[in-house]
């Protein structure tokens, strides 16, 4: 009997998680397909920078979460064993600034995609990217799969809606839909607006003499930070289970933004207190003060175990940015 090659569709393949997941699935023999939007101003080099090294091993399809017909056409013409729905408007402050776009993309986009799969290939297993932002104003520390949701942003609300949509497709149509409730996960591929990348590149630029200060928002916010490469492995494990289910994926350790600054600046032998200041400009209308996850279920049922420690993560990010910005300094 020939072994059937698994075919995965990744929405959001150009992002941090999509790129690590594509690498992971290629390494275990999948045929990897990605979905990317057509855009008016292509900026190809920048948009595809995270997957440029695997471009010749993946297939990209043009479709948009805002357009049901494009999603239907994609899944009607191609058969997939697994679909990882990672694409979203994922920056929390932007969800306050443009709540309607965030809701449309994150909620309707999820419904369009899974509904199209239900109609033409209900056997395809689906992963939905939930988020610890769904917990928001927490009533219980640490948070696990039983913790109530109290989202504090349009982004968090959109993810709660997506989570319930995925659950309902599972219960109503017997689809194999699983959601990962992933706590913050970072890497050198993290977008520059997120706090960890802002701190890592700030420390690198200050060390290289390219900048003199780093301006952040709330330094006391606490997050459970892990490495994206570890977290995509959990997504894939969820779809290998006989039964679909929901899992918290977290490191089980929390640190403040201030702690992250201290760790990053000490990688370049600097004291963050000499360079970092807080400005209300970067504060959110409603903040999530502390998130800490309990990933016991993922560890026990999926056999998932992260490899990176907090220190490894910070060091890898700072070293990457030192390397990147030292080339820039040389060009200048
Ligand atoms: O903020 C505080 C900020 O933007 C972390 C997304 O991937 O993870 C991410 O959401 C914390 C917040 O990530 C700045 O107020 C202080 O308390 O890096 P962030 P996030 O909002 O936690 C979850 C799991 C997701 O699902 C999301 O898609 O850091 N903070 N000063 C700052 N944050 C930013 N961005 N910039 C600052 O200057």
Nearest to 189 by CA among 38, 86, 66: 86
Report the pLDDT value the prediction gives residue 331, as an integer from 0 to 100. Answer: 59
Q: Quick one: 33 and 64 in the same domain? A: yes
The single residue of 19, 70, 95, 131 carrying the catalytic annotation is: 131
Report the pLDDT value the prediction gives residue 89, as an integer from 0 to 100. Answer: 97
- How close is the Cα of 73 to the center of ligand 1, in Å? 35
Report the pLDDT value the prediction gives residue 34, as an integer from 0 to 100. Answer: 98
Q: Quick one: 212 and 97 in the same domain? A: no
The mean pLDDT of 72-96, rounded to a whole number, is 98
The domain that contains 130 carries what CATH number? 3.40.50.720
Does an H or E element contain 57, and which? Answer: none
Tell me which of 184, 285, 289, 313 to substitute to probe ligand 1's pocket, judged by most ligand atoms within 8 Å of the beta carbon: 184
Q: Determine which residue's CA is closest to atom 28 belonging to ligand 1.
A: 90
Tell me, yes or no, if 155 is annotated catalytic.
yes
Pocket of ligand 1 contains residue 184 by CB under 6 Å = yes
pLDDT, one tens digit per residue, over 106-160 is: 999 999 999 999 999 999 999 999 999 999 999 899 999 999 999 999 999 999 9
The domain that contains 273 carries what CATH number? 3.90.25.10
Report the pLDDT value the prediction gives residue 71, as an integer from 0 to 100. Answer: 98
Distance CA 219, CA 260 (A): 9
What would the DSSP string read from start to end of 107-138?
IIHHHHHHHHHHHH-TTSEEEEEEEGGGT-S-
Q: Quick one: 274 and 322 in the same domain? A: yes
CA angle 33, 301, 242 (to 5 degrees): 55
Give me Rg for the CA atoms of the chain. Answer: 20
Residue 216 has pLDDT above 60, yes or no: yes
* Domain carrying residue 277: 195-223+255-290+309-331
- pTM beyond 0.95, yes or no: yes
Distance CA 305, CA 226 (A): 11
Distances (CA, A) of 58 to 29, 31, 180, 210: 12, 7, 24, 37
Distance CA 268, CA 60 (A): 39
Q: Quick one: 235 and 285 in the same domain? A: no
Residue 2 has pLDDT above 80, yes or no: no
Report the pLDDT value the prediction gives residue 4, as an integer from 0 to 100. Answer: 86
């Amino acid at each position: 009997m020939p072994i059937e090659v698994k075919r995965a569709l990744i929405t959001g393949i150009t992002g941090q998680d999509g790129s690590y997941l594509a690498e992971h699935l290629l390494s275990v023999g999948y045929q990897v397909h990605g979905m990317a939007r057509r855009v008016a101003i292509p900026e190809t080099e920048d948009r595809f920078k995270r997957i440029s090294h695997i471009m010749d091993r993946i297939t990209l399809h043009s479709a948009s979460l805002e357009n049901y017909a494009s999603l239907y056409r994609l899944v009607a013409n191609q058969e997939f064993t697994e679909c990882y729905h990672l694409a979203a408007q994922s920056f929390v402050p932007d969800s306050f600034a443009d709540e309607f776009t965030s809701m449309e993309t994150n909620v309707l986009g999820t419904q369009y995609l899974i509904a199209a799969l239900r109609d033409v290939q209900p056997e395809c297993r689906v992963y939905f990217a939930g988020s610890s932002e769904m917990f928001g104003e927490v009533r219980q520390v640490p948070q696990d799969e039983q913790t109530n949701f109290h989202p504090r942003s349009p982004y968090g609300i959109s993810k709660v809606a997506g989570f319930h949509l995925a659950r309902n497709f599972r219960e109503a149509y017997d689809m194999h839909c699983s959601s990962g409730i992933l706590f913050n996960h970072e890497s050198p591929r993290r977008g520059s607006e997120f706090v960890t990348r802002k701190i890592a590149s700030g420390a690198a630029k200050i060390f290289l003499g390219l900048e003199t200060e780093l301006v952040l928002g709330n330094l006391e916010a606490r997050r459970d930070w892990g490495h994206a490469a570890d977290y995509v492995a959990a997504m894939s494990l969820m779809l290998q289970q006989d039964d679909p289910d929901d899992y918290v994926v977290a490191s089980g350790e929390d640190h403040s933004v201030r702690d992250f600054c201290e760790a990053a600046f000490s990688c370049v032998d600097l004291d963050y207190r000499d360079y970092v200041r807080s400005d209300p400009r970067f504060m959110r209308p409603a903040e999530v003060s502390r998130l800490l996850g309990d990933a016991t279920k993922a560890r026990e049922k999926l056999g998932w175990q992260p490899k990176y420690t907090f220190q490894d993560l910070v060091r890898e990010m700072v070293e990457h940015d030192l390397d990147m910005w030292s080339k820039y300094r040389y060009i200048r």
